[in-house]
């Protein structure tokens, strides 16, 4: 799936890749002076467009290198626009270009502070200390300054390129201290570390500063560079297309095995997510205590009642007519069991349709003798939707500190599509792209939404299995994005039941090409 475009708005790069791009621009004749001016002027334009931040004056924190130079260009232009600007330079300036900008700023009347700025002051801080490629902790006095600033005057700092104290490749802080920005204006392309969950409290809202990278230079990047996706990309996605005269059995058929006495709601939420996908037919295998009432909430579903309070997976699988379904979801709320995964494995290996495994299905595989290597035996496509804990149990040998790298490696070695949940969820597929969700809402990290997601993913997959052409693993990213957007835009609330209703309305609008987004 070639979605979205591999352009400057979507590419996610490492610090070394960004530096290589800058060097390529310099080799073409772009000068460091011109690039710094371009960056600084664009940053100034952003700040002027948010002038309320500047009304009490600005302190620019100037670093020793070119990040400090960017800050000085911003300081100069804000000063010339009438903003009260001061500079603080706690480090010896190392770059000649930055020295020249500092000299000019002082010569035109900008005040240079001789001691650290007041952490309780109302001035807005523009942090331009180090930017890209930081490798060591902040000096103790600088780290303490940021701590006190956040304590006494939070929400009054913006960072240029990368917040001080943050690794641009991993998103980790080098110590317990880092600049905590309300916004980060990152230069050129989005750096991978800035999107990782651990960095989000420090990055704030992320704004890309365009530097006009030619498409020919972007094309030099490796083909597996991750892509960021947000609500802006929904309008361009390609949803599975169904023939206008298709019957309900030609619109994707899905089976769901979910629920237990302890997690009764998980089964219902999974089914609500499945129905929201628009798949033509849904059948469910649920414990008796759930199925005898579930029809009231989801009358569209055909129920195959289990006699026990807990799911016996092998019994459910033996009842399924696999030639009459395109997709099977297993796991939400089923709990752990004395039943061995190996007892059911052979049947699932032979299923040619899409298998979606979530929650305790993954935990059962983790406890099995083969573990994740069982995925390689599957004859049909497989998608998994783990949270970080489930992922670590399933792939204990994979370092999860970089979710993008972890999901990518898991997809490559196992041959399955991986949706690794997080604040900015990562999706990786075998021999394909890597996507990371951005601009997500923290309000939707709530119980039950993962169950809705599992059902929705299974339904979208069923539609994909019967669409024209070969099955596209990229639909996993499509489903994740639509689910995330529905959750953040649900007017009624953020609980899972409300979100499932919003999800159904949104996906129908997308299929009908009648959806509008604020960009």
439 is in an annotated binding site: no
> Looking at the 3D structure of the chain, how many domains does it have?
2
Task: Name the phi and psi angles at 190, rounded to 5.
Answer: -70, 130
For residues 130 and 200, membership in a common domain is answered with yes
The model's pLDDT over 487-512, given as tens digits with 9 standing for 90+, comes to 988 888 888 889 899 999 999 888 87
423 is in an annotated binding site: yes
For residues 190 and 300, membership in a common domain is answered with no
Q: How far apart are CA 197 and CA 117, in angstroms?
A: 30
For residues 84 and 172, membership in a common domain is answered with yes
Domain interval for residue 501: 253-381+435-511
207 is in an annotated binding site: no
For residues 336 and 441, membership in a common domain is answered with yes
Give the end of a domain, one of 225, 245, 273. 225
Q: Quick check: is 502 in a domain?
A: yes
CB 463 within 8 A of CB 278: yes
473 is in an annotated binding site: no
CATH code at 97? 3.40.50.10260
Q: Quick check: is 293 in a domain?
A: yes
112 is in an annotated binding site: no
Listed residue (12, 482, 47) closest to 239, CA to CA: 482
pLDDT of residue 291: 85
pLDDT of residue 469: 66
148 alpha carbon, distance to own chain's centre: 30
What is the pairing mode between strands 417-420 and 426-428?
antiparallel
For residues 100 and 164, membership in a common domain is answered with yes
210 is in an annotated binding site: no
Total Cβ atoms within 10 A of residue 198: 17
Q: For the chain, which ranges sit under pLDDT 50?
A: 518-519
For residues 266 and 205, membership in a common domain is answered with no
pLDDT of residue 307: 62
- Calculate the alpha carbon distances from 409 to 278, 378, 399, 417, 418 in Å: 32, 18, 10, 11, 10
pLDDT of residue 514: 52
377 is in an annotated binding site: no
Q: How far apart are CA 356 and CA 351, in angstroms?
A: 12
422 is in an annotated binding site: yes
Distance linking the first and last C-alpha atoms of the chain: 23
Q: Would you state the structure tokens that stand for residue 421, as one six-digit string?
A: 């949940």
For residues 197 and 335, membership in a common domain is answered with no
176 is in an annotated binding site: no
- Calculate the alpha carbon distances from 48 to 58, 66, 160, 226 in Å: 12, 22, 15, 32
pLDDT of residue 493: 84
Q: Quick check: is 150 in a domain?
A: yes
pLDDT of residue 518: 44
User: Coil, helix or strand for 372?
Assistant: helix
The model's pLDDT over 64-114, given as tens digits with 9 standing for 90+, comes to 999 999 999 999 999 999 999 999 999 999 999 999 999 999 999 999 999
239 is in an annotated binding site: no
Q: How far apart are CA 486 and CA 460, in angstroms?
A: 15
70 is in an annotated binding site: yes
pLDDT of residue 311: 86
């Amino acid at each position: 799936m070639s979605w979205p475009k591999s352009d400057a708005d979507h590419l996610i790069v490492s610090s070394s890749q960004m530096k290589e791009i800058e060097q390529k621009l310099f080799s073409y004749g772009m000068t460091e002076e011109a690039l710094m001016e371009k960056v600084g002027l664009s940053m100034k334009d952003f700040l002027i467009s948010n002038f309320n931040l500047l009304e009490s004056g600005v302190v620019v924190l100037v670093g020793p290198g070119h990040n400090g130079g960017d800050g000085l260009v911003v300081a100069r232009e804000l000063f010339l626009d009438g903003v009260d600007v001061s500079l603080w330079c706690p480090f010896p300036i190392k770059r000649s270009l930055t020295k020249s900008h500092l000299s000019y700023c002082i010569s035109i009347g900008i005040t240079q502070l001789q001691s650290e700025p007041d952490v309780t002051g109302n001035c807005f801080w523009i942090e331009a200390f180090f930017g890209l490629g930081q490798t060591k902790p902040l000096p103790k006095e600088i780290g303490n300054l940021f701590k006190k600033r956040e304590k006494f005057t939070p929400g009054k700092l913006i960072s240029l390129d990368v917040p001080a104290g943050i690794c641009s490749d991993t998103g980790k802080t080098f110590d317990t201290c880092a600049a905590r920005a309300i916004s980060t204006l990152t230069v050129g392309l989005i750096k991978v570390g800035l999107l990782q969950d651990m960095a989000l409290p420090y990055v704030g809202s992320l704004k890309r500063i365009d530097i006009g990278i030619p498409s020919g230079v972007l094309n030099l990047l490796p083909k597996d560079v991750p892509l960021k996706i947000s609500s802006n990309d929904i309008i361009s996605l390609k949803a599975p297309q169904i023939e206008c005269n298709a019957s309900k059995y030609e619109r994707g058929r899905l089976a769901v095995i979910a629920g237990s006495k302890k997690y009764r709601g998980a089964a219902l939420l999974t089914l609500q997510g499945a129905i929201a996908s628009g798949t033509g037919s849904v059948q469910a295998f649920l414990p008796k205590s759930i199925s005898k009432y579930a029809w009231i909430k989801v009358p569209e579903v055909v129920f195959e009642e289990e006699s026990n309070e807990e799911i016996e997976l092998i019994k459910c699988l033996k009842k399924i007519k696999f030639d009459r379904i395109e997709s099977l979801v297993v796991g939400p709320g089923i709990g752990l069991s004395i039943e061995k995964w190996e007892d059911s494995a052979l049947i699932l290996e032979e299923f040619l349709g899409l298998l979606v495994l979530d929650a305790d299905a993954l935990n059962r595989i983790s406890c099995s003798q083969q573990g994740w290597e069982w995925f390689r035996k599957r004859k049909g496509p497989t998608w998994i939707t783990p949270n970080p804990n489930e992922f670590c149990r399933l792939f204990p040998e994979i370092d999860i500190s970089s979710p993008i790298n972890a999901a990518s490696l898991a997809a490559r070695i196992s041959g399955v599509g991986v949706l690794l949940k997080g604040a900015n969820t990562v999706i990786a597929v075998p021999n394909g792209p890597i996507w990371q969700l951005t601009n997500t809402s923290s309000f939707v990290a709530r119980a039950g939404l993962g169950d809705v997601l599992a059902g929705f993913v299974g339904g979208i997959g069923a539609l994909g299995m019967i669409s024209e052409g070969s099955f596209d693993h990229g639909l996993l990213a499509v489903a994740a994005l639509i689910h995330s957007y529905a959750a953040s835009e649900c007017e009624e609330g953020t609980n899972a039941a409300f979100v499932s209703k919003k999800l159904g309305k949104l996906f129908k609008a997308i299929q009908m090409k009648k959806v509008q987004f604020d960009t």
